[in-house]
Structure 1
């Protein structure tokens, strides 16, 4: 499960989200990963935590539950400074969940996607921190199995590795029909891709790929379908073009033979040798642009009301008069006067404006009357000229202030089943699956298609403008308009359930497409299910 803590900001809970899970009250949604949703909650003492729930279809699988219990209990043994430890869990309820420490900061994937590759000092500190996390994980007899940029969060005092060991819970379970994949193809080791036993050396291979991604902004084995990536990982050498000379040791991490790869401790030593100064984690280990995304406090969820600000001048309580002391001249002490009630504080009145000269007041009043009348008279004359066709000698036409067009009203459609080799047209109301009789990838009307060819299942758009939103991004028209990281299509196995896509068509329509899953593996008909929100004629 991805933590979804990629932007340091949250989304408000939706209608289908639970309010309480176990003893934890949920405050906001952090994101959606391949195995379920992730929420913000708090311990009884008020410390923020990330609570991760398992999707219902996984919870119904007894083998998954058994493995999930084993892996969570093993992961709870991991104690390391650069890990987000497991704090609590429940694997027996209707919907299993676990709680981990919340990490404030973007993921490595989001940071590089928005700001580009990291400088060498940041990369060395990143690798040393992640290697130290792997030492703690492997020391607890756990293998991460799904180490990737989205599972490395960038905190102010160093990286944090999340979701260690949980990927194994989906091994050997019939979950391919649900869209869950044990591990991420682009960052698998050769032995993992070949279905061979996975060892701690597999995590070191993934660490080498993370290094290439952090330093160059691209994968060590390029891009493409899952099958193409896995083939390159098993049979081809990595592309280390652009890698700084100080990181030449990364080639050892990417050795095809697990026994030739360095241990995490050796990686830390190699990072220290490559650094011109001693490695020290500090609050400025990241570039300023990335560091600016790290909140100094737990952010409010989207839509939450701002916290009230304290008054600039705190109220002062009137002096309290103590009771009168006992006097022998009285049979009983005199009753003490009641303290004055606490006055409701009001902000101090602003100082009165300076007194103006009466002459200036008369001039100001006259201007307020004469100027609007003058404009009104000019407008009447212009309209009269236009109505009568009188020649006034003016060559220009009547000019009016430009008005900004309102954003189009969105139309939402839930649960559209899109069969394979069909597409949707966003001009249709509602969008209906269509099969043109030709390739859906070539039809000009394929605003969003589901295509199969050469054993690859792809979703995309002929408009060539498809953007995968980060878990923390809002699915708004403004977000889709300003996104710049376009692609045309995505391999379906690499698209987790819950992924949101901004699609801009060649006709000028914009849509938010949410992937809800695919047909079961044994279903004779192959289809994907999506929710679609369409803004027609929204470009520009």
Structure 2
């Protein structure tokens, strides 16, 4: 039990239901709890503090959550920014999923405002610029934060730190959220989140505007109260910016635009912060926070000491492979047993194999073991003393056998030449067979210089073929697809058609009079990609959220759909918009990228 928890309840003691160890990390205190789990303080073996977030058991029991959690954590580990807390370790397979990030010794923005009130304009501008720079890195990794709020922004001595980026997506579409459990704070959601529409990086910009307003005013821009009431105001009403300083009004108002396309980009947000500060480039002073808030950082820097220094892990963290450690070296080298001297090939000076000597260790079935020394080190001029145990590596013995065979070849060239050739040929065949086995297990395709058959089966007669290379994509931009028309991705070029042939209806647009409009396929499967997913061939091959119809109300400008036809073709369809109201016809505009014969066709197709 941890008793020393520091002042002001920042470091809370572990309670009866709190774990003491997570995958080798000994927990020293509890830092807080949220909608998805609890956060604990721990230390690396080198003594660096880390924050470990353990997911709630309710989410842990959902297989889809675990899959998404693992995927999002892997994406988050690619984010390396000055204003983000890096993810350093995780485990999605254990009894309770968890992730570890660098510990930031500073209060959250929500705690700072709640305790000390609203922040001055200069601090807010530096805060917003830092968060925007963090979003720039996060979005660059293909992630939308989805849950940017004051409690996910930590105030460090050298600037803000954004945490928990992308993790909220793991809870989407799980059995919990579909049954009414809410993850995140409705107060800081965007209109498209509240309406269940497509999430894009612009969603984080809306949240950034809310964070800026909260920091400068001290209260949420859309008020507080029940979730339904707040979400209604976010979708249908304008924010209450009473008390917002004039220097921040243009910045906040543009970020809080209802239409995502009208919000500024991350780069524009940084530029607006620079203009509002009266400088072309923001410069962060050493003391960018008010004195009272900065004092909280000092308090959090004095974290409780680890339970043991360094804490010896009970087991290796899940993301690290176990590395066997050598036993303690004996004070005196072992005495070698009596040996018989044998002359080396051609009686030439020899050098012992690398690593052999009094302090060398050789691998064994369970770890490592000391290797006795051999006489005749570098510079020896006589025969070498061979040790009966341990034997030198087989590679060395084979080289010695080859040398002896060469001697025999020279001495008995007339009588035994054919036999020697047979021995050498057999050795080469064995090596070729080993090379073939390695080539069969290789994941990469052979280089063009390998020829049509590659490197496999050249000498052994194997029928293994080189892996099939991905087809080159073909792009068709700005296709206007009218109502009741369809596309066939096998055609060259891909163009709208209204031919009555269901076997060619790969992608069609339907304007339904009595129900919602939709796009559909009659020859394959569709997948609507999430925001942040990369529209690549690998993505289209791996995503299995198949459907045959997608409602057009779920599409926004830039939405992407993967199409896989039963004939083995794959297409990425990007929605660009609808016909203008002045147009006499109704159509949608799409871009199509096609990989023909990219997957195995279905039987009887």
Aligned pair count reads 301
The 10-residue stretch of structure 1 (293-302 or 68-77) with the greater mean CA deviation from structure 2: 293-302
Tell me the distance in 2 between the aligned counterparts of 1:279 and 1:69: 37
Looking at CA atoms only, which structure, 1 or 2, has the larger radius of gyration?
2
Aligned position for 1:48:
49
Aligned position for 1:252:
254
Aligned position for 1:143:
144
2:292 counterpart (289, 293, 305): 289
Gaps of 5+ in 2: 1-5, 308-605
Q: Provide closer, same or farther for how the CA distance between residues 87 and 27 of structure 1 changes in structure 2, counting only shifts above 3 A.
A: same
Aligned position for 1:311:
none
SS in 2 for 1:27: strand
Aligned position for 2:278:
276
Aligned position for 1:299:
302
Tell me the distance in 2 between the aligned counterparts of 1:178 and 1:294: 40
Equivalences for 1:206-245 in 2 at 5 Å? 206-245=207-246
Aligned position for 2:572:
none
Does structure 1 residue 65 correspond to structure 2 residue 46?
A: no
Aligned position for 1:496:
none
Tell me the distance in 1 between the aligned counterparts of 2:211 and 2:266: 14
Q: CA deviation at 1:175?
A: 1.3
SS in 2 for 1:234: helix
Tell me the distance in 2 between the aligned counterparts of 1:179 and 1:26: 32
Tell me the distance in 2 between the aligned counterparts of 1:161 and 1:6: 24
Contact 1:157–1:283 at 8 Å: present in 2 too?
Answer: yes
Does structure 1 residue 25 correspond to structure 2 residue 18?
A: no
Per-residue CA deviations over 1:462-518 (Å, capped at 9, x if unaligned) read: xxxxxxxxxxxxxxxxxxxxxxxxxxxxxxxxxxxxxxxxxxxxxxxxxxxxxxxxx
Per-residue CA deviations over 1:91-131 (Å, capped at 9, x if unaligned) read: 01111110011111111111111111100000000000000
Tell me the distance in 1 between the aligned counterparts of 2:174 and 2:286: 43
Q: Provide closer, same or farther for how the CA distance between residues 178 and 15 of structure 1 changes in structure 2, counting only shifts above 3 A.
A: farther
Q: CA deviation at 1:241?
A: 1.6
Tell me the distance in 1 between the aligned counterparts of 2:187 and 2:50: 29
SS in 2 for 1:38: strand
Tell me the distance in 2 between the aligned counterparts of 1:134 and 1:12: 34
Does structure 1 residue 183 correspond to structure 2 residue 187?
A: no
Q: CA deviation at 1:303?
A: 13
Per-residue CA deviations over 1:140-191 (Å, capped at 9, x if unaligned) read: 0001000000110111110000100000111101214998423321000000
Contact 1:12–1:302 at 8 Å: present in 2 too?
Answer: no
Aligned position for 2:15:
14
Per-residue CA deviations over 1:233-290 (Å, capped at 9, x if unaligned) read: 1111111121111112211100011011011111011101110355222331011111
Aligned position for 2:530:
none
Equivalences for 1:139-538 in 2 at 5 Å? 139-176=140-177, 180-247=181-248, 248-277=250-279, 278-295=281-298, 298-301=301-304
Contact 2:43–2:306 at 8 Å: present in 1 too?
Answer: no
Q: Provide closer, same or farther for how the CA distance between residues 213 and 6 of structure 1 changes in structure 2, counting only shifts above 3 A.
A: farther
Q: CA deviation at 1:27?
A: 1.2
RMSD over equivalenced CA pairs, Å? 2.3
SS in 2 for 1:137: helix
Contact 2:14–2:30 at 8 Å: present in 1 too?
Answer: yes
SS in 1 for 2:297: coil
Q: Provide closer, same or farther for how the CA distance between residues 6 and 53 of structure 1 changes in structure 2, counting only shifts above 3 A.
A: farther
Q: CA deviation at 1:73?
A: 0.8
TM (normalized to structure 1)? Answer: 0.53
Tell me the distance in 2 between the aligned counterparts of 1:8 and 1:162: 21
Aligned position for 1:122:
123
Higher relative contact order (CA 8 A, sep 6+): 1
